[in-house]
Amino acid sequence: MGKTRFMVILGIIFSLFISSTYAQSCTKYDFASNQVFSACSDLPYLNSYLHWTYNPSSQNLQIAFRRTGMSSSRWVAWAINPSSQGMVGSQAIVAFQKSDGTMRAYTSPITTYRTGLQEGDLSFPVSDLSATFSNNEIIVFATLKLQNNSSSSTLNQVWQEGPLSNDSPRMHLTTGPNVQSMGTLNLLSGESKTTSSGAVNLKIKQIHGILNAVSWGILMPSGAIIARYIKVFPSADPAWFYLHVTCQLLAYILGVAGFGTGLHLGNQSPGVTYLAHRVIGIVLFSIATLQLSALLLRPKKDHKYRIYWTVYHRSFGYAILVLSIINIFKGLDILNPEKIWKIAYVGILVALAALAVILEVITWFVVVRRKKSAANAEKLPYTINDTNGGSRIQQSLV
């Protein structure tokens, strides 16, 4: 009897699992409005499904995007990216339930990673746009006129969901399924493929941010601190110089790597340009390359042009520090990581600034004391000590 009951229970569980899986297939879904679509796809992430009917001759695409397991405090979006794979550059259809219970569905072109999903016209006409929310499921309906699309029937698609605040979409998660929910869709064959480009691009962005934060934001200021404060101690010469060069050279190498990843990200998203961030990055790379050449072009200490070189080198050095910090914060705003990363970087800047203040006080104390000692030495007269009819000149040294 025990074995029989166990087998019955196991059979029930297995049948429920099969029926649940079977029910979740888009091919068995019946729309309440009795709409029928010629094809559908079970999207692999975020409990989402796409139904469509495509007319190749007119390039009309009628779609229904479904997202199950929803609450009224979240938004959904489905998009086509005509230029590349990924979020930026995509032409999105957004829907959510407002606080008064009505549904809002609208179009939104995505031009930045920090989008607020503002309403705007897409690169192709959209008609029959509507949305429903029932049984914890949002369905978005629309008809797209893909007149600007290429002759290929394969599209880059992106789908997403996120939280609402005061009837406005807020930033979705940047980990897990939320950065994997993209791929290609063949409208004729129905073949749907996911791509890891979103996760890869996010990883590249993180690497780009870390490289630049460490190089321009930490190593460069550290090298400047060494050059300004450590060299005042005679015993630190020439060790301070080699420390300074090593620190700045390592910063430059990492900075070039960060610059390269930035160019790669720019090429991956041709429709989006963070102009200020890009321009500052190019200026930083150019000035840093000039500074590096100073190792070969540096005049000797007694050269008559040494003073001009010193002014140029210090001016460009301070310019790099200021521009680096500005650009790192711009990068943080673009990437929008967790707040702990910005707090950590601010903490590092505060620590470096506090160290600079302490060393500034010590430096002034050392310099002033050295000048005072030199002045006292110049004021002391020569003394004559003649004990045997001769004379001896003696100078006091400090």
Q: Are residues 136 and 154 in the same domain?
A: yes
Q: Are residues 331 and 243 in the same domain?
A: yes
Amino acid letter for position 120: G
Residue 17 covered by a domain: no
pLDDT of res. 142: 94
pLDDT in tens, 110-145: 887 777 888 899 989 999 999 999 999 999 999 999
Q: In sequence order, what are the residues at sequence separation of 6 or more whose Cβ sits closer than 8 angstroms to the Cβ of residue 351?
A: none
Residue 150 covered by a domain: yes
Residue 8 covered by a domain: no
Q: Are residues 161 and 50 in the same domain?
A: yes
Which tokens hold the place of 188? 């004729």
Which tokens hold the place of 362? 């010590």
Q: Are residues 318 and 334 in the same domain?
A: yes
Residue 45 covered by a domain: yes
Q: Are residues 135 and 212 in the same domain?
A: no
Q: Are residues 143 and 268 in the same domain?
A: no
Q: Are residues 79 and 124 in the same domain?
A: yes
Which of 195, 218, 241 is the last residue in one of the domains? 195
> How far is residue 111's CA from residue 52's CA, in Å, rounded to a whole number?
26
**pTM check: above 0.85:** no
Q: How confident is the model at residue 238 (pLDDT cuts 50, 70, 90)?
A: confident
Tell me what the mean pLDDT of segment 221-227 comes to: 89
Q: How confident is the model at residue 170 (pLDDT cuts 50, 70, 90)?
A: confident
Q: Which domain holds residue 342?
A: 201-379
Q: Are residues 217 and 144 in the same domain?
A: no
Q: Are 220 and 245 in contact (CB under 8 A)?
A: no
Q: Are 21 and 36 in contact (CB under 8 A)?
A: no
User: Which range (150-164, 208-222, 379-393) has the least confidence?
Assistant: 379-393
CATH number, domain with residue 78: 2.60.40.1210
CATH number, domain with residue 274: 1.20.120.1770
With 0-12 CB in 10 A as exposed, 13-18 as middle and 19+ as buried, what is 6? Answer: exposed
**277 annotated ligand-binding residue:** yes
User: Which range (40-54, 118-132, 221-235, 369-383) has the least confidence?
Assistant: 369-383
Q: What SS3 string covers the chain?
A: CHHHHHHHHHHHHHHHHHHHHHHCCHHHCCCCCCCCCCEEEECCCCCEEEEEEEECCCCEEEEEEEECCCCCCEEEEEEECCCCCCCCCCEEEEEEECCCCCEEEEEEECCCCCCCCCCCCCCCCEEEEEEEEECCEEEEEEEEECCCCCCCCEEEEEEEEEEEECCEECCCCCCHHHHCCEEEEECCCCCEEECCHHHHHHHHHHHHHHHHHHHHHHHHHHHHHHHHHHHHCHHHCCHHHHHHHHHHHHHHHHHHHHHHHHHHHHHHCCCCCCHHHHHHHHHHHHHHHHHHHHHHHCCCCCCCCHHHHHHHHHHHHHHHHHHHHHHHHHHHHHHCCCHHHHHHHHHHHHHHHHHHHHHHHHHHHHHHHHHHHHHHHHHCCCEECCCCCCCCEECCCC
Tell me what the mean pLDDT of segment 55-74 comes to: 90
Among residues 279, 219, 230, 225, the alpha carbon closest in space to that of 252 is found at 219
pLDDT of res. 372: 66
Q: In sequence order, what are the residues at sequence separation of 6 or more whose Cβ sits closer than 8 angstroms to the Cβ of residue 254?
A: 211, 214, 215, 219
Which tokens hold the place of 365? 């104390």
Residue 129 covered by a domain: yes
Total domains in the fold of the chain: 2
More confident: 232 or 48: 48
% the chain with pLDDT above 70: 78
Residue 148 covered by a domain: yes
Residue 389 covered by a domain: no
Q: Are residues 249 and 187 in the same domain?
A: no
> How far is residue 160's CA from residue 52's CA, in Å, rounded to a whole number?
18
Q: Are residues 100 and 239 in the same domain?
A: no
Q: Are residues 109 and 77 in the same domain?
A: yes
Tell me what the mean pLDDT of segment 306-314 comes to: 86
| Number of other CB atoms surrounding residue 358 within 10 Å | 11
CA 330 to chain centre: 9
> How far is residue 336's CA from residue 332's CA, in Å, rounded to a whole number?
6
Which of 163, 195, 227 is the last residue in one of the domains? 195
**208 annotated ligand-binding residue:** yes
Tell me what the mean pLDDT of segment 313-334 comes to: 89
Residue 175 covered by a domain: yes
Q: Are residues 264 and 177 in the same domain?
A: no
